[in-house]
């Protein structure tokens, strides 16, 4: 029978013999066959504005159902108080399916952050978004800066009914005519958009590629889209909302956002 001293010696000898093992280099062909995905990916590139873009992408899928009483971005500063770039109340991502009593989350894949620097290494822009996104977003919009892309229809921001030429930021109305905003015909108040379905605007029911929010200090800044083209964003906060909603002057309905009535309403309306 092996006593404790012989056992210890055997273990030590085994450790010594294992210490002689060594790693062997892999050939290029063997490396090509390896497949994997990094949790965090970092890269940089030059954009069409002559700025260097640094990007961090997180390799994960985010599912969220969340509500916020208010979303105000860019209030004050050069715009003045009460003239926010984006102003909304009752903001929510995802909704509650009251028929099946379950949460239907907003889903984002591969979230990322980017920042743009000029030749003096000054930050001139910042962007955050998802490489793919799909789900319901709801908010009572009072002002909006950005794009609301709808299925089969080009839309434009306006500052009211009958105001003429469209605007690129702090709009209060949305229409299909760039030169006019006709009440009840081709234009509506942003307050009528109780919900937006973030998805591919082609109506395929697949996730959207270019859901993002950005901030830029320049008069305009180009941000690269998934297809390789650029989206120009105006100074301040900017939001790009690709949807598969069809345009209707009557707006879009709201969804349930709460399982229980807390006295503030369970429906977005």
**What is the length of the chain?**
269
What percent of the chain is predicted at pLDDT more than 70? 83
**DSSP summary character for residue 33:** T
Which one is predicted more confidently, 3 or 84?
84
With beta carbons less than 8 A apart as the criterion, state whether 149 and 136 touch: no
Mean pLDDT in the chain? 86
Three-state DSSP class for residue 12: helix
77: pLDDT strictly greater than 50: yes
Task: Write down the pLDDT at residue 18.
Answer: 45
50: pLDDT strictly greater than 50: yes
Which one is predicted more confidently, 265 or 98?
98
Over residues 172-187, mean pLDDT: 89
What's the pLDDT band for 262 if we cut at 50, 70, 90? low
Which one is predicted more confidently, 262 or 190?
190
> Which residue reads 């100074």 in tokens?
235
15: pLDDT strictly greater than 50: no
> Which residue reads 């978004």 in tokens?
129
Over residues 192-197, mean pLDDT: 95
Over residues 56-69, mean pLDDT: 95
Q: What tokens does 148 get?
A: 């609301």
With beta carbons less than 8 A apart as the criterion, state whether 37 and 59 touch: yes
CA-based nearest residue to 188, from 126, 245, 128, 252: 252
What's the pLDDT band for 38 if we cut at 50, 70, 90? low
d(CA 184, CA 238): 27
| CB proximity list for 23: less than 8 A, separation 6 or greater | none
Task: Write down the pLDDT at residue 123.
Answer: 97
pLDDT tens-digit map of 218-250:
999 999 999 899 999 999 999 999 999 999 999
5: pLDDT strictly greater than 60: no
Task: Write down the pLDDT at residue 26.
Answer: 77
User: Mean pLDDT lowest for which of 4-8, 125-129, 148-152, 255-259?
Assistant: 4-8
133: pLDDT strictly greater than 90: yes
Over residues 150-160, mean pLDDT: 93
What percent of the chain is predicted at pLDDT more than 90? 67
Task: Write down the pLDDT at residue 185.
Answer: 81
What's the pLDDT band for 149 if we cut at 50, 70, 90? very high
Over residues 45-64, mean pLDDT: 95
2: pLDDT strictly greater than 80: no
pTM for this predicted structure: 0.80
């Amino acid at each position: 029978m092996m006593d404790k001293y012989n056992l210890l010696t055997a273990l030590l000898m085994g450790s010594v013999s294992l210490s002689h093992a060594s790693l062997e280099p892999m050939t290029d062909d063997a490396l090509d066959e390896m497949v994997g995905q990094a949790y965090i990916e970092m890269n940089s590139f030059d954009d069409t504005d002559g700025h260097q873009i640094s990007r961090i992408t997180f390799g994960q899928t985010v599912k969220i159902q969340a509500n916020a009483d208010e979303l105000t971005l860019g209030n004050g500063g050069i715009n003045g108080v009460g003239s926010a770039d984006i102003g909304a109340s009752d903001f929510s991502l995802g909704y509650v399916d009251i028929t099946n009593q379950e949460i239907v989350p907003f889903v984002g894949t591969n979230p990322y952050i980017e920042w743009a620097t000029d030749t003096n290494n000054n930050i001139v822009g910042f962007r955050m978004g998802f490489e793919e996104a799909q789900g319901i977003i709801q908010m009572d919009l009072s002002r909006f800066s950005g794009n609301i892309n709808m299925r089969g229809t080009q839309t434009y921001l306006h500052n009211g009914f009958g105001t003429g030429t469209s605007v690129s930021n702090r709009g209060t109305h949305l229409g299909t005519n760039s030169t006019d905003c006709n009440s009840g015909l081709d234009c509506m108040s942003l307050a009528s958009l109780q919900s937006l379905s973030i998805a591919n605007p082609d109506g395929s029911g697949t996730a959207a590629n270019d859901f993002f929010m950005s901030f830029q200090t320049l008069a305009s800044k180009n941000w690269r889209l998934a297809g390789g083209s650029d989206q120009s964003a105006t100074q301040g906060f900017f939001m790009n909302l690709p949807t598969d909603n069809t345009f209707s002057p009557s707006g879009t309905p709201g969804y349930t956002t709460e399982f229980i009535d807390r006295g503030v309403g369970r429906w977005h309306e």
